[in-house]
Amino acid sequence: FVILNWRAVCGQCRACLRGRPWYCFNTHNAKQKMTLTDGTELSPALGIGAFAEKTLVAAGQCTKVDPAVSPAVAGLLGCGVMAGIGAAINTGNVGRGDSVAVIGCGGVGDAAIAGAYLAGAARIIAVDIDDRKLSTARTMGATHTVNSKETDPVEAIRELTGGFGADVVIDAVGRPETYKQAF
């Protein structure tokens, strides 16, 4: 079976040729438009038609996966792991000794925590409103947790970083409130 990737990079632009495909802005989607049987044109979510039973995609949006792999595990590769680890390692450029705060500890946030851990971050602060998610974040590499329902996360992060704030902040929630907190 295959996993659908929401971006099929071009491989030809400046970013791709420099080995940084996560910055590619010439990504490909299927050339043929998806339509209903009556001809009504559809707009596939993320270019792949998420949650659809059938979809049209560009070949580069497909990654072949061994059928023996559990679908629950393989499904994470399509978005959560790629987005989270990519945010930490590629976009955030987390390095050894950095302090990192991750706001939101779902699939993407936990992958960002794992990415920061793999990159050698010294302090990884997980922020969420759910203590169960914060507990899981510790198993992914978080060194500190902040329940933002009970504590101001900005103040807590400043306190945990000697008043400086984190070197890298990853917002894995995407709400205006968390975006502002990240900055």
What is the pLDDT confidence band of residue 42, given thresholds at 50, 70 and 90? confident
What is the pLDDT confidence band of residue 2, given thresholds at 50, 70 and 90? confident
Indicate the pairing of strand 168-171 with strand 99-103.
parallel
Domain boundaries, the chain: 2-67, 81-182
C-alpha closest to that of 124 among 132, 114, 180, 133: 114
What is the pLDDT confidence band of residue 85, given thresholds at 50, 70 and 90? very high
Q: Helix (H, G, I), strand (E, B), or coil: what is residue 10? A: coil
What is the pTM (predicted TM-score) of this model? 0.79
Judged against a pLDDT cut of 90, whether residue 71 lies above it is answered with: no
Judged against a pLDDT cut of 80, whether residue 75 lies above it is answered with: no
What is the domain class of 81-182 according to CATH? alpha beta
Mean pLDDT score of the chain: 91
Which tens digits make up the pLDDT trace of 107-164? 999 999 999 999 999 999 999 999 999 999 999 999 999 999 999 999 999 999 999 9
